[in-house]
Amino acid sequence: MSWRDVVGSLLGISTYQAPAQDAGPTLDDPRVERQRAAFGGQLSPLPQTKTRWYLADLDNTVANADAGDMGMVGRLYRAMRRDGVLSGVLSTRTGGVVCLPKKFYGDADIKAVLEARNGTRSTFDDLHPPAELALLAADGIVCGVGVGELLPVQGRDFPVLCRLDPEWLRYRWAENRWYYNTIAGPIPITPGDGRWVLHTPGGRVAPWQHGQWQALGRAWINKEHAMLARSNWEHKLANPARAAIAPLGASEGQRRGMISSLIAWGFNTVFELPPGWDVKLIESKGEGYQSYQATIDSSNLEFMVDIAGQTVTTDGGAGFANADIHRSIRADLVKETATSIAYTCNTQTLPPFIAKRWGAGRLGTGTVVEWDVTPPKDLKAEAESMNQMGQAIKVLREALQAYGRDLDITQLCNRFGIPIAGDADGDGAPDRNANELEQGGMLQ
């Protein structure tokens, strides 16, 4: 069995799906390579920018997406990232998760390579730049699907992950296959082939329907229009009008002179008025701006609830003061993002890396990664419980020795999740070595 077949089984590729080579050119096709070389290695076409959005555009975006065209979804997503509140909350959830500590499980030799550090970097980070992972995670949250490419790197034997713009993603219902519209034409996406990475936290079927772009898009469009209307109100009514009151006997020349003085009214202007003259400000009594501000506040609230699951991130609560992702973002959403991005790495980026360096035979005992999303207070409670468990084991063993009995340490470790050296599968007992695993048929 080749390593690509093993990766296909990890991904759960349906037996109904036709082989990728029957769908069109690949990234390694000479024609594609020549086209990329002409554009400096660029794969994506020039982005199509749309700066003004209306609710009718959102309706068209929904229709296009359900037909498999992610073009308008990608353009809407890119436009929404201009909003400071939305972009800030989204970066807290994605960048915050990617920066959490990582745990590696599996083959000790492979773990040592992935964890090896070169200054402030590690091999895992060289393969998966944190910024690219954060962008890919954000695409998955908002669009329901994200795409990336594993680019070969000159001078080393493993690639680097590069996130691609989801604007050029296309899904063909008749083939049950994703394509990417490149500068060389549409290319079929084969997740896990060592070149393509398809991140689908929105699910295997129509993942765009489970992204947050529809809710965020409606709130963002309403906010944009409200901000423009508020700015228009401020330009017309926020600045008070200046008026001069002239006495009945004032001449036309005197009135014109006073109007000229009002027009020239600047900072710290001082008037000396003859008897009977007066100057005052006329301010608008209108309160229409409150409606615009209410729409803006409502949209900001929807951004926060959609992405963070709560409002503590930006309203100055404890999470904002302590810069603690576990308080800024709801815990289950942190876990969801970390689990989905780890699944993509474990099924599409790490297996090709392991297979090419150590061979397909090491995939069954290879290494997987997960992000440690345990809140700090839970870590403290876990340490205290382990300390109490250690004391309890000592007391129980001494008590049972009087009856010639002993504790089942393996069962206790498995039940309470106590880590054991050499126990990569977490069953509370040391694992068999790789040779025994191969002999047991796990790699067949």
pLDDT digits (tens, 9 = 90+) for 348-364: 999 999 988 888 888 87
For residues 116 and 185, membership in a common domain is answered with: yes
CA-to-CA distance for 294 and 349, rounded, in angstroms? 45
- Is pLDDT of 1 > 60? no
- From residue 360, give the alpha-carbon distance in Å to each of 152, 153, 256: 20, 22, 92
Amino acid at 366: G
For residues 265 and 126, membership in a common domain is answered with: no
Residue 329 binned pLDDT confidence (cut-offs 50, 70, 90): confident
Domain stop point among 362, 384, 399: 362
CA-to-CA distance for 393 and 415, rounded, in angstroms? 13
- Is pLDDT of 16 > 60? no
- Is pLDDT of 247 > 50? yes
What tokens were used for 409?
A: 């340490």
CB 36 within 8 A of CB 43: yes
Task: Give the mean pLDDT of 137-161.
Answer: 93
pLDDT computed for residue 323 by the predictor: 43
**In 3D, which of 223, 53, 76, 57 has the Cα closest to residue 143?**
76
CA-to-CA distance for 423 and 16, rounded, in angstroms? 37
Task: Give the mean pLDDT of 240-255.
Answer: 81
CA-to-CA distance for 329 and 320, rounded, in angstroms? 10
Whether 64 is in a domain gets the answer yes
What tokens were used for 353?
A: 């890396």
Domain stop point among 362, 387, 403: 362
Which one of 31-45, 266-280, 362-376, 398-412 scores highest in mean pLDDT? Answer: 31-45
- Is pLDDT of 13 > 90? no
CA-to-CA distance for 107 and 351, rounded, in angstroms? 13
Residue 21 binned pLDDT confidence (cut-offs 50, 70, 90): low
Whether 24 is in a domain gets the answer yes
CB 74 within 8 A of CB 143: yes
Residue 440 binned pLDDT confidence (cut-offs 50, 70, 90): very low
Task: Give the mean pLDDT of 383-400.
Answer: 78
For residues 78 and 214, membership in a common domain is answered with: yes
pLDDT computed for residue 257 by the predictor: 82
CB 143 within 8 A of CB 166: yes
- Is pLDDT of 434 > 50? no
Q: Say which residue the tokens 């990890």 belong to.
A: 10
For residues 429 and 400, membership in a common domain is answered with: yes
For residues 315 and 268, membership in a common domain is answered with: no
What tokens were used for 111?
A: 């773990």
pLDDT computed for residue 313 by the predictor: 46
- From residue 279, give the alpha-carbon distance in Å to each of 238, 240, 242, 257, 371: 19, 13, 7, 13, 68
Low-confidence winner among 95-99, 226-230, 268-272 (lowest mean pLDDT):
268-272
Low-confidence winner among 3-7, 48-52, 214-218 (lowest mean pLDDT):
3-7
CB 216 within 8 A of CB 306: yes
CA-to-CA distance for 332 and 442, rounded, in angstroms? 33
Whether 75 is in a domain gets the answer yes
DSSP symbol at 191? B
Q: Which domain holds residue 409?
A: 374-439
Residue 7 binned pLDDT confidence (cut-offs 50, 70, 90): low
